[in-house]
Structure 1
Amino acid sequence: MIFIGYLDLVLFALCAFTVVYLLIYAIAATVKRTDKYSESRIKHRFAILIPAYKDDEYVFYAIRSFLQQDYPIDCFDIIVISDHLKSETNRQLAQLPIILLKANFKKSSKTKSIKAAMSQLADSQYDIALLMNADNVVEKNFLNEINNTYASGSNAIQSHRIH
């Protein structure tokens, strides 16, 4: 009987430790992060790659959010990879100050679209390549924040959706 009591106590301690461990990390995750990087004096060149597979409805919102950036317009190019977009959508995209690449893969994938776009870019033309979805809308300071983070020494940066 004493053995079962000790075994019960050990199992309870293991479960309690697991619960407390997860609770601590859950509480820590609710604390707002204030990662701020110092303002970079250099404005790096961006290639903003937006693969758009049948995203006729959303791609214009994404493009508009990048065109409204508080970042020098000559320091970034918006490159839309049109994969199975409607002809009318392609005509409207061609009117915008973007680079429009057309792809028509039999089996489409984001990877194929990105590889196709990257193969057409010069190696030294851009400092940073941003991979976005066609339905991503960003805040006006997005490119400044990415630029500051990159200038601080980060080689890979991952953003996330907040809405």
Structure 2
Amino acid sequence: MTTTVDPENSAAKTTRPEDERIEGTVFTPRQVGMLKIAVVVMGILLLAGFAAVIAGLIYQASKVGKKVPAEATVAAPPPDPVAMERAASSALQALSIPGDGEVVSMSLDGQRLALYVRSREEAEIVVVDLTTGKVVSRVKIDKDAPPAQ
């Protein structure tokens, strides 16, 4: 007795619908479904993130004009009148510069003031301590000296 096997109906040729590839892609219908779900979930997460950022901006902007409660602030001590008078009396009253000299620029750094003074013959940088009113240093600038190496 001989049996014939129909090649079109053989078990080796039969495929399940979920294993079939979609024409023109390498994806199965199940994989495409999973991709759709992932895209929707990620889109929702993006929208939620944007909403959180906008809510944070609105929250921070609403706090801008509000005052802090009085007990939360640290009050600065009142100024000492004796120290202020001493500082005012020791303030720089005059700075000697050459007759044709001029202050070209100045720079403030904390309690120090640096003045760039230039005349026809020389140039110098004068550093003044603003708390004591005294000249801390004078740095002469030699125009004819070779540059330091």
TM-score, length-scaled by structure 2:
0.33
User: Would you tell me which structure has more helix in proportion to its own residues?
Assistant: 1
Say which structure is richer in strand: 2
Q: Tell me the TM-score normalised to structure 1 length.
A: 0.30
Q: Which has the larger radius of gyration?
A: 2
